[in-house]
């Protein structure tokens, strides 16, 4: 259904999000009062130079860490003040992660790697493992071990694994950073397909092709939003009123 920008449901809302790390006697403001919204179904790239705070932001959004101050809502849940146990549950149930270095367990087969998060959630992967392997084009690799796969295949297996628990949000940290351009393109295409199916995707990247494919960039510099970042922008294809399309 086509929705107006105002009625789009919010997947993520950050308000004055701040993260301060101690470093010796000093304090590093890795994030300094960052506010933005991401709507459900958006595909967003977090970009900016090294040290800008991108990984820190992804860690907070992924409930790996708690902010020093500020508020964060994820799929309607207030998450900034959750304890470790609740954060772990939310991570497991709502978020899929894709990393630069894939993070597959070398002793497990591809199918077993994909099923692992379901196992930790107290379920079996079942037929969904094979559905997802077909989705990422790896049916023929299901019983292989990661060291028998190319980098691109490993990342596609990692994406299948990230989707096994049907997350509301897919987070990716430099997902093409370890891939040649052809394999990187395949990952970008896969993200675009998942986005077209309605998945909310947030990816930290230095890859301009991935940033362009995302359609919206959250730009960080020195822990703050770059002034050009549009903090609440809905994607034009989701906006009903043509006058509101840029």
The crossing angle, in degrees rounded to 10, of helices 151-163 and 181-196 is 20
DSSP 178: T
Instruction: Give the pair of three-digit tokens for residue 109.
Output: 């087969």
CB 202 within 8 A of CB 169: yes
**CB of 216 vs ligand ADP, minimal distance in Å:** 18
Q: Which is nearer to ligand ADP, 35 or 40 (CB)?
A: 35
Phi, psi of 83 (to 5 degrees): -80, 170
**CB of 79 vs ligand ADP, minimal distance in Å:** 18
CB 46 within 8 A of CB 240: no
Diameter over CA atoms, the chain: 55
Q: Decide the pairing of beta strands 216-221 and 43-47.
A: parallel
Instruction: Give the pair of three-digit tokens for residue 144.
Output: 């292989």
CB 94 within 8 A of CB 87: no
**CB of 208 vs ligand ADP, minimal distance in Å:** 16
**CB of 66 vs ligand ADP, minimal distance in Å:** 13
Site string for ligand ADP, 97-126 (x = CB under 6 A): ------------------------------
Q: Which is nearer to ligand ADP, 24 or 242 (CB)?
A: 24
Site for ligand ADP in 8-27 (CB under 6 A): 21, 23
53 φ/ψ sector (left φ>0, alpha ψ -120 to 50, else beta): left
**CB of 20 vs ligand ADP, minimal distance in Å:** 9
Site string for ligand ADP, 49-78 (x = CB under 6 A): -xxxxxxx----------------------
The crossing angle, in degrees rounded to 10, of helices 127-135 and 110-120 is 130
Q: Which is nearer to ligand ADP, 53 or 146 (CB)?
A: 53
Site string for ligand ADP, 207-236 (x = CB under 6 A): ------------------------------
Stretch of 48-56, 120-128, 175-183, 192-200 lying at the interface with ligand ADP (CB under 6 A): 48-56
Q: Decide the pairing of beta strands 224-225 and 95-99.
A: unpaired
**CB of 53 vs ligand ADP, minimal distance in Å:** 4
State the residues that interact with ligand ADP by CB under 6 A.
Answer: 21, 23, 28, 30, 48, 50-56
């Amino acid at each position: 259904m086509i929705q107006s920008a105002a009625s789009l449901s919010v997947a993520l809302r950050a308000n004055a999000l701040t993260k301060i790390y101690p470093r010796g006697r000093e304090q590093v403001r890795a994030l300094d009062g960052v506010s933005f919204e991401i709507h459900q179904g958006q595909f967003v790239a977090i970009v900016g130079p090294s040290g800008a705070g991108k990984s820190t932001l992804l860690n907070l959004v992924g409930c790996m860490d708690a902010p020093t101050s500020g508020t964060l809502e994820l799929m309607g849940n207030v998450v900034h003040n959750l304890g470790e146990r609740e954060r772990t549950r939310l991570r497991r149930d709502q978020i899929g992660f894709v990393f630069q270095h894939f993070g597959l367990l070398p002793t497990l087969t591809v199918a077993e790697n994909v099923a692992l998060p379901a196992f930790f959630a107290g379920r079996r992967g079942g037929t969904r493992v094979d559905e997802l392997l077909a989705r990422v084009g790896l049916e023929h690799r299901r019983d292989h071990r990661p060291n028998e796969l190319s980098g691109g295949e490993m990342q596609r297996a990692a994406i299948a694994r990230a989707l096994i628990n049907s997350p509301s949000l897919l987070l990716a940290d430099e997902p093409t950073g370890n891939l040649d351009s052809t394999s990187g393109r395949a990952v970008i295409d896969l993200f675009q397909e998942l986005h077209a199916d309605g998945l909310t995707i947030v990816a930290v990247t230095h890859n301009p092709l991935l940033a362009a494919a995302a359609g919206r960039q959250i730009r960080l510099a020195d822990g703050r939003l770059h002034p050009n970042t549009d903090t609440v922008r809905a994607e034009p294809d989701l906006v009903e009123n043509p006058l509101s399309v840029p």
